[in-house]
Amino acid sequence: MSQLTNDAPEGILLVDKPQGITSHDVVAKMRRVFHMKKVGHAGTLDPMATGMLLILIGKATKASQYLMSMDKEYTGRVKLGVITDSQDADGEITEERPVPELTEVQVKAEMKTFIGDQYQTPPMFSAKKINGQKLYKLARQGKTVEREPRVIHISRFDITQFALPEISFIVGTSKGAYVRTIAHDLGERLGCGGHLNELRRTAVGQFRIENASTIEELENMSPSTLRKQLIPVIQAVPSHAL
């Protein structure tokens, strides 16, 4: 076996998360792949979402906070006229409204109003903690609590396909932005409500989904090939942030 396996591996692993599992599930799988406990991630993806998940191996876990602060890019699809309690397709439908005869020009104009800094209230169905309790656990009990709005930044919000009642889009966000809340808010501004029914994270900072590996690919790699997938932390994080 190569000498590469003598030292504990460390670095950033780009994983293309499939739909239907949690980010923690991916961490658990990578712990088994690398035969080590010191594995984490930098930025949760909902079970419904797919795409870029930064998995941190070994000492790279120290860079978690810096990596989580990087900007994100997503592609997704909003379905107008249907509102859910979770603001996405995993939730229960709470209201349905008729979708007006909107034009692509009208929707683009509304999307432009999202660009820049703004306050966003975290959804109840989220992993954010208030008084030590995760919001989604309270939401499942039918409870709603006061949430502090926080400043987020949206750098782009463009239509990629217009086929009412669905609108496909690409959006660039800062840390802490909830794309399903953006989709929900767009529906409200268009007067008919809506929810997010598809989401894929395509980039985190300089890391692109095109360079990520699937879980299945990683599980079938040899130890030496796995090592080659690890990006040295110093390539992504300034030394003063470590």
Peptide bond just before 9 cis, omega within 30 deg: no
Q: How far is CA 98 from CA 187, 188, 231, in A?
A: 11, 12, 49
- The structure tokens 């217009």 sit at 162
CB atoms within 10 A of CB 25: 14
- The structure tokens 């809506």 sit at 194
Work out whether the CA dihedral 111, 117, 121, 125 comes out positive or negative.
positive
Residue among 7, 16, 46, 158 flagged as catalytic: 46
Peptide bond just before 165 cis, omega within 30 deg: yes
| C-alpha–C-alpha distance, residues 111 and 224, integer Å | 46
Which structure tokens are listed for 198? 């598809």
Strand residues in 18-165 grouped as ranges (E): 39-41, 50-57, 72-80, 82-84, 93-96, 116-120, 129-130, 133-134, 150-163
* Host H or E run for residue 200: strand 194-204
Is-contact 152 118, C-beta < 8 A?
Answer: yes
Beta-sheet pairing, 93-96 with 129-130: unpaired
Is 46 a known active-site residue?
A: yes
| C-alpha–C-alpha distance, residues 229 and 212, integer Å | 9
By annotation, the residues acting in catalysis are 46
